[in-house]
Amino acid sequence: MFKSSPSEGTDSHHGAANTASKVPEHIAIVMDGNGRWATQRFLPRVAGHKKGVDAVRETVKNCARRGVKYLTLFAFSSENWRRPIDEVNILMGLFAMALEKEANELAKNNVRLRVVGDLTAFQPKLRELISKAELITQNSTGLVLTVAANYGGRWDIVQATQKLVSEHPEFAQNPLKITEADLAAKLVMAYAPEPDLFIRTGGEHRVSNFLLWQLAYTEYYFTDVFWPDFDAQAFDDAIRAYSGRERRFGQTSQQLLVATQA
């Protein structure tokens, strides 16, 4: 297992340095390893994706159990369209099935669902299911579950820039007036705090164009566990690793110590 921390610098989102609390407020996950999980068991890749849906359900429960307020899952990237068409169709079908099956259950458990990404690429029926599921859960006040679908971090920054200039034409004339806060407010996840903990399963050590802006000061945790096997123990291992991190946000350990003693 490989674990790393982001480098030091300034952080406009948090505003002040702090140490990692035992439970992160926001967890973002790249759910990797479904296909390899299936291949190791001499099963078709679809079996891994179906088992991965069970892991999503389990992770939502574990976040609620731990008191996590935001969970963001990378379900389908803008690059995933390059996969074989049969697999893409299977993924779309599983997404639609999960939306239909899980929305009422999420609402019953006070979980709010939000789906972010360039949804215009999806079939009208799928977009309708997304809207319906979000509507069903809109009054939930507990965990906010965000599913990133046809999402890319570069796309997010571009669309935020386009929206900002469209809404504020004066910025086109004087771009030096644009601040980080201006742009951050137009990102598709402006409703949520930046992730405290990023988890990637499946043994790969990269972020793969996920939340590029938002992960600037997130703690990274990589595990060899394939997503279908990411159970309560694996989840707790990630939380335990996170709780041992010192989050300095550009300050020194001594400065943090002084601040806690003040």
- Which residues are known to be catalytic? 32, 80
Report helix, strand or coil for 53: helix
Distance CA 54, CA 92 (A): 16
| Distance, C-alpha 39 to centroid of its chain | 26
Cβ-based burial of 47 (10 A; exposed 0-12, middle 13-18, buried ≥19): middle
Query: Which residue, chain included where needed, has tokens 């972010």?
Result: 116
Distance CA 234, CA 18 (A): 25
Handedness of CA 185, 252, 5, 1 (dihedral sign): negative
Q: Which of 187, 183, 153, 180 lies closest to 165 in space, CA to CA?
A: 183
